[in-house]
Structure 1
Amino acid sequence: MRATTVFSLLSLFLPTVFGSLGGLPNKIYGVNLGSWLVLESWMLPQEWLDMGGEQCDDCSTCIATEFAFAKAYPDTVDEIFDGHWTSWFNQPDVNALKANGINTVRIPLGYWIVEALVDRATEFYPRGGLAQLRRGLQQLNEAGIVAILDHHALPGVAAVKQQFAGNCITTPLFYTDYNYHRALIWTSVMTALSHVDPAHPVMVTFQQNFVKVVRATEFCLGVKTPGVGAMPAPADGNCTAMLSQVNGSIFTDEVRSVLLDAGPILMQLGVGGLSQKKTQLVTSFMDINWQYNNPANPADAAIGPQGYDNHLYYSFGGVANADPVSYMTSICNLKRVQNDAALGNSPLWFGEWGLPTQFSPTDAFLRQWADAQKLMYSQGAGWIFWNFKVEISDLAGGLGRQWSYLEGVKRGYLTKDPSKYNNPDVCVPYIRSKSAAVSGPAGLAFADGQVPY
């Protein structure tokens, strides 16, 4: 069986993209391939030091990110990172995921994987990631595992003092016309690769402009798109010459400019011709809970098929009191799938979650905690665990116990068949009465459905 590759642009309130909903499994049982093509050194502390990186409490003050590493080691960075990419995720990892019933992976990507977008005078990143991505996708395809490609790290940096941004800085620089434009060029290039490159069996303004770029690029590749005028697409997939003539609401001045800038990059990559899929990709956004500005409803930006993602971590606080009963009461009464559906944010999947807590959990609790989260997230389109693995080393300590999916299966917290549970009735003692107000985790009384998360 050959799998579908799905693309998503997921970064807080920012949008994403995918292949058709038909390309996703009926129920997603997935893991993230974190620290592969966007390295987060906290997950592999010993390897990072061995590579030449550094550790520090404030990641902006030492060699803690790909940007800082490439700047410090310009002559060797590409070779060193090629070794990391090859060893961190490879065929044995694919075999392990397949053996444990995983049908989907989410692959965080940085904008620098499209190397032509990088300003080499001021920006420093390793090169060669796209070839590694193609290698990994081929291995996943052969195993029948769907891949969601996640635009995790945006041009200029959207999230400050975070390793996952690729560059740890104190002021976000993404929110400028220049960097918006670069992110939209990335969108057009990856959309074209998804339709034309055989290694990408299917895929990414921010909100409205984002969707329009996907649909306009598809139009150029011969894929019918709502909102486009009657003029036929070019026979070779290159619509540069006809951009001034084509009409339709998706071809704004910004979209035309993006397509013109994406064209030379695609030529450099040797990508051309019409779509091999002939079906629309599915745009996807972080759901309304993660949106910005009042908040905007991502469902309003849809042109064609669309899906939604949500992330939920209890370990960072603000969700439930730090004790087992509060955690279980909170998760077992989760209403995010239902509440999102009422606002058009459906289908919904949970693209990041894990077993970490704010207290010291027993093995027995972690089995309950894993079951309860799987039960609740499976009310929607499914779930994707963070992360598929973390480093096993003295320096990493017990990190794998709560952050590694494969280690969680080994320890029995997570079932080998991801559709099964250690105890399918794990939530029964914690489900609130629908007719009476009860005391919530924070000691506040509230009725069913009026939950503080």
Structure 2
Amino acid sequence: MAALSASPIAALSFRDGSGAYTKGQVTSPKTSGTTQLQQSTSGSSQTESTSTTPSQTTHIQHSIRNGDVSSIGVNLGGWLVAEHWMTSAADFWTGVSDDEAGKGEYTAITKSASPDTIRSNLANHHATFITESDIADIAATGINTVRVPVGYWIVGFDNHDPSGAAEWEHYTNGTIKYLDALITDWAKKHNIAVLISTHAAKGSQNGADHSSPCDPGNPHWSKYQENVDNTVAMAKFLADRYKDEDAFLGIGLLNEPNGSTDEDALYAYYEAAYAAIRETSNDCVLSVAPLLYKQSPDVMTDFMQAPTYTNVWVEWHPYFVWGYEDTSDYDLTNTAVKVNFQNSVSQWNARNNHNRLFIGEWSFATAGKFSNNQEGYYEFCQAMVDVMYQAGAGFTFWSWRIYGDESGFNAWSLRSVLRDDRLKKIFFSADPAARRQLDSGYSIRNGETTSKGVNLGSWLVAENWMTSSADFWKGAVNASQGEYTAIAEATDPDTIRSHLDYHHSTFINESDIADIAAVGINTVRVPIGYWIVGFDDSDPSGKEEWKVYTNGTIKYLDALITDWAKKYNIAVLLSIHAAKGSQNGADHSSPSVYGSEFWGSYSENVNNTITMVSYLADRYKDEEAFLGFGLLNEPNGDTTTDVLYDYYEQAYTAIRATGSECVLTVAPLLYEQSPDVLTDFMLAPSYTNVWVEWHPYFVWGYDDVSDEDLVNTSVKVNFQGDMTQWNSVAGHNRLFIGEWCFATNGKFENNEDLFYEFAQAETDVVNQAGGGWTYWSWRIYEDETGDNMWSLRAVLRDAKLKAILFPDSSNSGSVTTSTDSSSDQTQLQQEQQQVQQSQKL
């Protein structure tokens, strides 16, 4: 029977001084440091990332097992247990009638005129259908788990066979080598957790083709104790074989038990398998499934619970295919999913001490629905995903691939689904409050997640244009030249320092971090100055210029990294904005001589910066929220590349000497930011966790560019071309967009729709950066009302801009609270419709 499917009908400039912006206008343009990147390509399509071996401290499997992370996964269906509907074009079905093939692998082999030929072709299928390249592709999408159906014959023996029938010998021999390769090599290398699913138990637990029954349609598993004992022995053997493997998550103890399978025997088996596996000191995850027709929140509610049992998940397989043939498109989405399915998951989660729920199989397939309603189909898919993410253990989509899915659309094939950009965004969407992730500082560092962040600009390094109404600028001379000049030339420096300290304690506080986390942001970039460490061991002149600044500001950084960011799961990247001597002469580097950059002219300045980053790296190296450093913000002017690049090398060595493997971003000279610079600098494997940082702004240098050309040429061609070129370089370091925003120089005043197109285009490109991005900036004085494109909290009050930046966010309102809309979900009372069939078509 054929599978059912639901077919879905630069020129860059950089922040460099002072200015304030409201949508459509820049009132104080910043003029220096503007350059254009030369384009070698104009590609406008998003390039897919490739999976690399990350430098990681802990495999993701441990975090899933411990409950720090939920599975976002996919099944490797049709690989080690063949299913005809998924692989009908494969050679191993040749010579077998569709009727016999549809009964499963055992029947196909035993009824064939040439069983050895089928077994030989099956061996080739096992070797080619899923390979390491598939696991790399899976990892590259952001998936963290694969579920692997296996049959009892995989272990290569049957010690519970009193009849001596040796039925397991009919199957292809030696398939365990592929499971070994997956768990001990591929999944380990690509940071993917592996859950083994007992799909085909001896005797068959459901009679369906995917259980490869000897007597198709009839489940004999629970009728004979030898079958149950064989399954216990199989589970114990596999658990013991892989118990020390980082990638091994656990075992689904029995897939879709159904039909005449005895419930008492089923539950007794789960207990026996649990005891046998735990006897080997193996605490892997074990999922237990109710009888297929009893999947509901009222079944297994008090079965094998903690603390008596550990790491037991309850597994469901909700499909919206069978039994929904006569359901309208509207009711399928709004009743079957949004009411019934939502209710089932809510009811399960509402119980005290419930085992984690795992959605082991599901898909976007329907019974021929939405054929003329593409938007309705997307709404259906989004509704499903919204509920899936509420399962405490996570989910695995059925399935990764199907024969013939290389083109077109097939809702059973995730690699096909992900070619649809809308479905890809839907699949990887999650309400922040409902999503449990690995601590962001680690997961971003290890490449499991990219940064979607914001700068905490003008907090610990003051910028007058962002905070001009603050008390600490009152009485300051030449405030626009930066913090040092404002203090050093003031008639009352102590008063300015006192007001600055108050600013540090109030401009950013824990409530800001809570609000930032609530919108789905996972990273903050924090500009700091060299004085934050409270000393200068490289000061032969004895000027002690660092003492001009407010003392003790490191306490605010400590609070952010050790408390607030840890609590709200936000990664922190420190940016060296103000190096001793100034690396660019701009106000945000707080130069002692405005407009002059002396950092690279004197070795004491460079040495001071190395000491500073080494000190901070050592201070925060064991903090979960600490992501790393931007080693120097926007070096410019007279700073030379020789001095700059040598500093990066020395800083890297000093930081790694502390034992810290944190991220280190390296920026080219501001006027040299292009995909032709730093392409072969500090690359892996000699260097680890090095990112290259750019700051693309579409403000300065675009005065004479039309609104249309700004969108269609500057962004969609030039900026996209740079991004594509960078990502196409083999072995490239990850690119990080450390600063960018929606500000323009007076554009789009009379064309709001084109402004939104500009914002979408810009976002589409920055989302392709392998290290992610941080928007400039979180807040500006007096941004509580109105539009200000330099303030992200103001931007997010615009529902359209919020949807552009965070398309998976369901809350289009204000970001004035740190709770998410998921807390307002109604606790529905109706039960989910039971899944009535066991086949996947």
Q: Same fold (TM over 0.5)?
A: yes
Cα-to-partner distance string for 1:40-63 (whole Å, 9 max, x where unaligned): 11012111566544313xxxx457
- C-alpha deviation, 1:289, in angstroms: 7.7
Closer/same/farther in 2, CA of residues 144 and 320 from structure 1, 3 Å limit: farther
Structure 1, 62-71 or 167-176: larger mean CA deviation: 62-71
CA distances 1:335-358 after superposition (whole Å, capped 9, x unpaired): 222222327543112111111112
Q: Secondary structure at the match of 2:90?
A: helix
Aligned to 2:182: 136
CA distance in 2, matches of 1:24, 1:34: 25
Show the counterpart of 1:355: 364
Please identify the structure whose Cα radius of gyration is greater.
2
Paired position in structure 2 for 1:41 = 84
Q: How much does 1:106 deviate?
A: 0.7
Mapped to 2, the partners of 1:42 and 1:158 lie a distance apart of 20
> Which has the larger displacement, 412-421 or 360-369?
412-421
CA contact (8 A) 2:75 2:397 kept: yes
The answer to whether structure 1 residue 164 and structure 2 residue 210 are counterparts is yes
Q: Which runs of 4+ in 1 moved over 6 A?
A: 292-295
CA distance in 1, matches of 2:294, 2:175: 30
1:213 is displaced (CA, Å) by 3.8
Mapping 1:200-349, distance limit 5 Å: 200=248, 203=251, 204=253, 206-219=266-279, 221=280, 223=281, 280-286=283-289, 291=294, 297=300, 299-302=302-305, 303-305=308-310, 306-317=312-323, 321-333=327-339, 334-341=342-349, 342=351, 344-349=353-358
Contact 1:111 / 1:153 at 8 angstroms: preserved in 2?
yes
Contact 1:320–1:327 at 8 Å: present in 2 too? Answer: no
Shift of 1:210: 2.9
The DSSP-based 3-state class of the residue aligned with 2:222 is coil
Query: Which deviates the most, 354-363 or 112-121?
Result: 112-121
TM alignment of 1:395-406, pairs within 5 A: 400-406=409-415
Letter of the structure 2 residue corresponding to residue 183 of structure 1: T
CA contact (8 A) 1:355 1:403 kept: yes
Gap change, CA 1:4 and 1:201, over 3 Å in 2 = farther
Letter in 2 for 1:191: A
Taking structure 1 as reference, are residues 106 and 122 closer, same or farther at Cα in structure 2, changes over 3 Å only? closer
Classify 1:310/1:408 alpha carbon distance in 2 versus 1 (closer, same or farther; 3 Å).
same
Question: Which digits, 9 at most, give the CA deviation of each residue in 1:4-49, with x for residues without a partner?
Answer: 66xxxxxxxxxxxxx8853566122111110001111101211156
* Partners of 1:198 and 1:383 in 2: CA distance: 20
Take 1:320 and 1:307, find their aligned partners in 2: how far apart are those partners? 33
SS in 2 for 1:151: strand
Residue 185 of structure 1 aligns with which residue? 233
Q: 1:416 to 1:53 in 2, by over 3 A?
A: farther
Closer/same/farther in 2, CA of residues 321 and 299 from structure 1, 3 Å limit: same
The counterpart of 1:389, out of the listed 401, 406, 409, is 401
Equivalence for 1:267: none
Structure 2: distance between partners of 1:25 and 1:4: 9
Per the alignment, in what secondary structure is the counterpart of residue 387 of structure 1?
coil
Deviations 1:113-136 (A, max 9, x none): 122128655452221211111112
The Cα offsets for residues 355-392 of structure 1, whole Å up to 9 and x where unpaired, read as 11123424333322222111111112222111111121
The runs of 5 or more residues in structure 1 that have no matched partner are 6-18, 224-278, 436-446
Q: Structure 1 residues 344 and 70, CA, compared in 2 at 3 Å: closer, same or farther?
A: farther
Aligned partners of 2:425, 2:176: CA distance in 1, in Å? 32
Partner SS for 2:411: helix
Name 2:648's counterpart in structure 1: none
- What is the TM-score with the length of structure 2 in the denominator? 0.39
Residues 287 and 424 (structure 1 numbering): CA distance in 2 closer, same or farther, change over 3 Å? farther
Output one character per residue of 1:383-421: Cα deviation in whole Å (capped at 9) or x when no partner. Answer: 21111111217xx997x5211111111023422584327
Match of 1:264 in 2: none
Q: Which moved more, 1:408-417 or 1:375-384?
A: 408-417
Does residue 91 (structure 1) correspond to residue 102 (structure 2)? The answer is no
Please say which of residues 206-215 and 353-362 is displaced more in the overlay: 206-215
Unaligned runs of 5+ in 2: 1-55, 254-264, 431-806, 812-821, 834-841
Report how far residue 157 of structure 1 moved.
1.2
Q: Deviations over 1:299-338 (max 9, x none)?
A: 4234421212111111111598232344233312312222
**1:68 Cα offset (Å):** 2.0
**What is the CA distance between 1:215 and its match in structure 2?**
3.1
Q: Is the 1:113–1:130 Cα contact (8 Å) retained in structure 2?
A: yes
Secondary structure of the structure 2 residue equivalent to 1:329: helix
Match of 1:409 among 418, 427, 430: 418
Q: Contact (CA 8 Å) 1:34, 1:388: kept in 2 or not?
A: yes
Q: TM-score, normalised by structure 1?
A: 0.69
- The superposition leaves residues 258-297 of structure 1 with CA deviations (integer Å, 9 ceiling, x where unpaired) of xxxxxxxxxxxxxxxxxxxxx5223321268865999862
Secondary structure of 2:402 counterpart: coil
- Secondary structure, in 3 states, of the residue corresponding to 2:85? helix
Q: For residue 106 of structure 1, give the secondary structure of its aligned residue in structure 2.
A: strand
Distance 1:307 1:186, change over 3 A: same
Give the stretch that moved more between structures: 41-50 or 173-182: 41-50
Matched, 1:22 2:75: no
Q: For the structure 1 residues 318 and 344, does the alpha-carbon distance in structure 2 shift closer, same or farther, using more than 3 Å as the test?
A: farther
Identify if the C-alpha distance between structure 1 residues 164 and 25 changes in structure 2 by more than 3 Å, giving closer, same or farther: farther
| Contact 1:371–1:423 (CA under 8 A) maintained in structure 2 | no
Give the AA of the match of 1:129.
T
2-side partners of 1:434 and 1:202: how far apart?
32
Task: Say whether the 8 Å CA contact 2:235–2:273 is kept in structure 1.
Answer: yes
Cα distance, 1:88 vs. partner? 0.7
Contact 2:359 2:396 in 1 (8 A): yes
Two-structure CA RMSD over aligned residues (Å): 3.7
Correspondence for 1:450: 830
With over 3 angstroms needed to count, the CA separation of the structure-2 counterparts of 1:311 and 1:284, relative to structure 1, is: same
Rounded to whole Å, the distance in 1 between the matches of 2:139 and 2:357 is 23
User: Contact 1:409 / 1:415 at 8 angstroms: preserved in 2?
Assistant: yes
SS at match of 2:221: coil
The separation in 2 between residues aligned to 1:397 and 1:169, in whole angstroms, is 33
One-letter amino acid matched to 2:141 = N
Change (3 A) 1:63 1:324: closer
1:50–1:92 Cα change, 3 Å:
same
Q: Residues 83, 24 of structure 1: CA spacing in aligned structure 2 closer, same or farther, 3 A cutoff?
A: farther
The secondary structure found in structure 2 opposite 1:284 is strand
Contact residue 77 and residue 399 of structure 2 kept, 8 A: yes
> Residue 156 of structure 1: CA displacement?
0.6
- Contact (CA 8 Å) 1:62, 1:68: kept in 2 or not? yes
For residue 125 of structure 1, the aligned residue among 157, 162, 171 is 171
- The CA deviation string for residues 158-190 of structure 1, in whole angstroms up to 9 with x for no partner, is 212x22011361322112212111111112212
Check the 8 A contact 1:101/1:418 in 2, yes or no.
no
